[in-house]
Amino acid sequence: MLPGLSLRGLLDSLNWSRPNATTMVPNGGENSIEMLAELEQFKQYFIPVLVVLGLIGNVASTMALLQRNLKKRPSAHFLAAKCISDTVFLLCLLLLWLQTLGVVLHGSGIWCHFLSMATQASNFQSTWFVVGMAVDRYLVICWPTWTHAHCCSGNKSVADLRHQHTTTVTWARIAVLIVSFVALAVYLNLSLTVGVVTIGGQPTCVPLFHFLKALQVLGYLDMLTNVLLPYTTVIVLISFTTHRVVRFRVSRKRVISRIASSKKTRCHYPKTELRQTKTIVIVCCTQLLCIVPTQVLRIYHTFRNAFGPNIGIQLEQIFLQHVFQLIYFLSFSLNFLLLVASDKVFRKVLHLTYVSLSTKMKLLCRRKNETFPVGAMAFALEFSATLVRMNESALL
């Protein structure tokens, strides 16, 4: 895989199958070199703005998704987990961007291993949390009688339905924990294959030479488990889910008759489920649009280096890859915008939180006679109590 962004540590850690640097012989004219120079200058400003806005949006999204009236949704747990993993990735990207300002982090082997593990694990988690959202919506829309939580039956009490709904949320939490544990366990060990090497007089975090053959094999496994398998699954499940929703809206009676069970259980799609499905479809499709270009280019270069002749790399290809990688990084910062644009309940929770926070900030500013620690503590306690009351009174 080609290096990009001049942040070799980050991109090498995300692409195990990076070829030997001696095979990377750029070919191109002066126009291509000027385009690359302008792109490098653009990235110096684009990356910090992207990271700061993404961090603010992900933190706000996580706080809203963990509120009482949103965390009842199984998909909200996957969304909150994705926001957290995206936050970790953006923090790592920010730390590595600081190297362009002269802040050297890779001089320490601890930083090298930590950043390698954190970037890979957060990238893996973000990918599979998207798969979890797609699976949740697929089961709710295409197999409503299997989930039970969204079906109405004459012989089921309200307590039974609440218990089944709680079980669905519990399984979502278990899935989040499993994905997080697998990512940390796997990439904590694989981070030992990188180390600090002096390149051009500067310490750089790169894959160690004696692990290159093993890393090539791991690159193919990573391509399968972190690219081909998850995103193929997302495309298939989202396609089935969208097709079923479209058919339901076109011919409501026909869809209801087809999903009715043999026990004459009357099932339907509540408006809340359709709205949640719309939000998840938008998030998944945006993720695919941002990630697929750079992953297709990665697959192309991987197989070309493995089976094709060594003909070098054109500067136009390097420029194209850098552009795709910027779009890829953008996928870690769009969660807040997508949720605000597509989820009415999410906007309501944000508004209530903003109103409460503004009120408490005004109250804090009026405490002129109190010392700052006392005022800050009182503000924190009062704001927490307000959030509790707000969550108890907020309705879906």
| Per-residue pLDDT reduced to its tens digit, 245-259 | 888 777 665 555 555
What would the pLDDT profile of 1-60 be if each residue is shown by its tens digit? 333 333 444 544 355 444 333 334 445 556 667 777 888 888 888 999 999 999 999 998
Is the separation of the CB atoms in 179 and 133 below 8 Å? no
Q: Residues 146-171: what's their mean pLDDT?
A: 54
Q: Residues 160-165: what's their mean pLDDT?
A: 49
CATH architecture of 8-342: Up-down Bundle (1.20)
Q: Are strands 26-27 and 313-314 parallel, antiparallel or unpaired?
A: parallel
Is the separation of the CB atoms in 19 and 3 below 8 Å? no
pTM higher than 0.85, yes or no?
Answer: no
Q: How far apart are CA 27 and CA 109, in angstroms?
A: 34
Domain regions of the chain by residue span: 8-342, 345-396
Higher pLDDT, 21 or 275: 275
Q: How far apart are CA 104 and CA 114, in angstroms?
A: 15
Q: How far apart are CA 301 and CA 312, in angstroms?
A: 11
The total of other beta-carbon atoms located within 10 Å of residue 86's CB is 26
Outline where DSSP puts E strands in 252-371.
266-267, 313-314
Higher pLDDT, 157 or 22: 157
* H or E element, residue 194: strand 194-199
pLDDT at 54: 94
Q: Are strands 202-207 and 194-199 parallel, antiparallel or unpaired?
A: antiparallel
Rounded to 5 degrees, what angle do the CA atoms 241, 246, 249 make?
125
